[in-house]
Amino acid sequence: MILPNNGKVVIIDDKPEQVKNLMSALSKDQVSFCYYQDEAGRDLPKSQLKNIRLVFLDLMLEHDITPETVNPRNIVSSVFSRLMKLISKNNGPYFLIIWSTESKRFADAVLQEFEKDSLSYLKPFAHLVLDKIHLNNINDVETVKNKISDELSNIDSMKGFFFWESLINDSAGDITNGFTSLIENDDLWNENTKNLLYKMSSAYYGKKIIDYEHKDQLIGAYSTLNHALLDQLEINVQQRLNGQLQNLVVNNGNENEHFSAKMNEQLHLSYQNCNTGMPGSTYMHVEILKHRIEEKKIAFEKHIESINNNNKIPIEKKEGVLEKAKQKGRTCIDLISAELTVKRKDFNEIINSSLKNNDSDFINYISKTGFYIETVVTPLCDHSQKKVKMERILPGVLIPSEKVGWFDKKRDYNYISDFSFRFKGTSYVFLFDFRYLYGVRSNKLEKLPACFRVKEKLVNEIQVKLSNHINRLGLLYMS
């Protein structure tokens, strides 16, 4: 039975004696689980669990009720009050096993409730209905385990992910064991383990570790552990993938560019931890500057209105105050507009110099459908060791993927991604122009909203190609 071993299996049943065989079957297969039995739900967690993958659900969750007389809506209400306290909207796919003595009477009502729009996030990826009485009458735990395995074999597509989640859990434990084994088991174990974490953090930050707060020092230690974890995970994949998973990697022949673009969005873009100025943080300066101009105009109009309505200002002075305020407002807006003009010029020049045919219609089309972006390509080690004086910013364009054929990939100053990705519901391709690389003070990025963050692997690839462009020798000759 392949299930995650990280405690993301949930059993909901108010009668422990009726789930003892189930618990024994899961325990025998080294599957951790969370069990909730309180009739009023007082034992449910204070916050929702993350990434639940399998739920065994009893329908009769209240004592001393007669199934023949109970209203099915009461059963549904009791069930969903628990599921909503356990499962978050970001939980992802899970399997539901209705595990009840009264499944024939109430299962359909429960399953029908999942179809409501407001509860659709709770809907399981698949469901099974098992007869609790039948399984409780089986004394052989192995038979119970095999019965569940047989039922799950019909929905085996998630086994690959279940196994991978378990490998990560085990690999993390292997790393913890490996590092903590360096510490002698004596009276100084606790302090020496803290020193071990300090050493891990200094391996990441270098001598600059003393400049970091405690939270950031711990992040440094975790970053070192993350590097070790990836290697251990690769080892465990090779050693433990021993043929027990079959026929899970299947090409159904249905090529879907939109699906591939969505996958690439997951692989290469992140919308978390964007506004830190860290490598990969990507800004749409044209959109930012247009928004700032609108904000300044609104603020300017409100300021003028407040001056007009201010009776404390003498009438003979009000005109001068208004003129000074208008001049200041116009100057501020003009400065932002001038910066916007420069960014738009760069935008059009990058497009113009990268097109195979720089027809004005082509340039106008990409200008209207693409986005000007600027991505931080400063090396991560410079950030971690506080060596950054100027952030390295690489300008580029998001171009609609269906028009990538308009652009020349052979030009050595361009980086055009070989893949498309989804952004705001449309497929795009990255185009960066290495000639526009520039530096900016880090504090200039602190308050800017990033639209997304390019993940590390892609940033590394861009950095490598950028360095090759900078290091090219060129050739001087007479002809």
The model's pLDDT over 135-175, given as tens digits with 9 standing for 90+, comes to: 665 565 666 677 777 777 777 888 888 889 999 999 999 99
- Across the range 168-190, mean pLDDT stands at 94
Establish if 258 belongs to a structural domain. Answer: no
Q: b/e per residue, 19-34, with b = 16+ CB within 10 A? A: bebbbebbeebebebb
Are residues 303 and 325 in contact, defined by beta-carbon separation less than 8 angstroms?
yes
Tell me which of 140, 157, 174 is where a domain ends: 157
Please name every residue paired with 391 in a beta bridge, in sequence order, or none if there are none.
Answer: 440
- Across the range 193-208, mean pLDDT stands at 91
Query: Which of 47-51, 374-378, 474-478 bottoms out in mean pLDDT, i.e. has the lowest?
Result: 474-478
- Across the range 278-304, mean pLDDT stands at 91
Give the percent of the chain with pLDDT over 90. 48
Establish if 275 belongs to a structural domain. Answer: no
Confidence of residue 177 (pLDDT cuts 50, 70, 90): very high
Helix and strand totals (H; E) in the chain: 14, 14
User: What are the C-alpha distances in Å from 210 to residues 14, 199, 220?
Assistant: 53, 12, 12
CA angle 453, 425, 164 (to 5 degrees): 60
Residue type, 471: N
86 plus 222 within the same structural domain: no
Strands 126-131 vs 54-57: parallel, antiparallel or unpaired: unpaired
336 plus 448 within the same structural domain: yes
Residues in the chain: 479
323 plus 347 within the same structural domain: yes
Establish if 265 belongs to a structural domain. Answer: no
Establish if 1 belongs to a structural domain. Answer: no
Q: Residue 170 has which token pair?
A: 């085990």
Establish if 365 belongs to a structural domain. Answer: yes
151 plus 166 within the same structural domain: no
Tally of domains within the chain: 3
The pLDDT tens digits of the residues spanning 392-420 come to: 999 999 999 999 999 998 888 999 999 99
The pLDDT tens digits of the residues spanning 203-231 come to: 988 888 888 889 989 999 999 999 999 99
Which among 5, 26, 35 is positioned nearest to 145, based on CA atoms?
Answer: 26
DSSP codes, 414-466: EEE-SS-EEETTEEEEEEEEGGG-EEE-GGGTTTSPPSEEE-HHHHHHHHHHH
Establish if 261 belongs to a structural domain. Answer: no
Range of the domain at 404: 281-471
The pLDDT tens digits of the residues spanning 75-100 come to: 888 899 999 999 999 999 998 988 87
89 plus 201 within the same structural domain: no
What's the pLDDT at 136?
61
Residue 475 has pLDDT above 70, yes or no: no
The pLDDT tens digits of the residues spanning 414-437 come to: 999 999 999 988 999 999 999 999
Would you say the C-alpha torsion 318, 319, 322, 327 has a positive or negative sign?
negative
The pLDDT tens digits of the residues spanning 328-368 come to: 889 999 999 999 999 999 999 999 999 988 788 888 899 89
- Say how far apart CA 60 and CA 431 lie, in whole Å: 58
Q: Which residues contact 212 (CB under 8 A, 6 or more apart)?
A: 201, 205, 220
289 plus 236 within the same structural domain: no
287 plus 426 within the same structural domain: yes
What's the pLDDT at 221?
94
What's the pLDDT at 1?
63
* Residue found under tokens 């963050």: 453
149 plus 167 within the same structural domain: no
466 plus 388 within the same structural domain: yes
- Say how far apart CA 98 and CA 75 lie, in whole Å: 13
* Residue found under tokens 């900016």: 440
Confidence of residue 134 (pLDDT cuts 50, 70, 90): low
69 plus 108 within the same structural domain: yes
Give the percent of the chain with pLDDT over 70. 93
* Residue found under tokens 């991978």: 164
Confidence of residue 309 (pLDDT cuts 50, 70, 90): confident
What's the pLDDT at 67?
62
Establish if 329 belongs to a structural domain. Answer: yes
CATH number of the domain at 117, please: 3.40.50
Residue 269 has pLDDT above 90, yes or no: yes
Which among 368, 405, 372, 404 is positioned nearest to 360, based on CA atoms?
Answer: 368
What's the pLDDT at 380?
85
Are residues 55 and 94 in contact, defined by beta-carbon separation less than 8 angstroms?
yes
What's the pLDDT at 370?
93
Strands 371-376 vs 54-57: parallel, antiparallel or unpaired: unpaired
Which among 111, 127, 102 is positioned nearest to 13, based on CA atoms?
Answer: 102
Establish if 149 belongs to a structural domain. Answer: yes
Confidence of residue 69 (pLDDT cuts 50, 70, 90): low
What's the pLDDT at 477?
65
pTM reported for the whole predicted model = 0.79
Q: Look over the chain and give the mean of its residue pLDDT values, rounded to a whole number.
A: 87
140 plus 170 within the same structural domain: no
- Say how far apart CA 272 and CA 276 lie, in whole Å: 10
DSSP codes, 200-240: HHHHHHGGGGGGS-HHHHHHHHHHHHHHHHHHHHHHHHHHH
105 plus 211 within the same structural domain: no
What's the pLDDT at 138?
56
- Across the range 105-122, mean pLDDT stands at 90
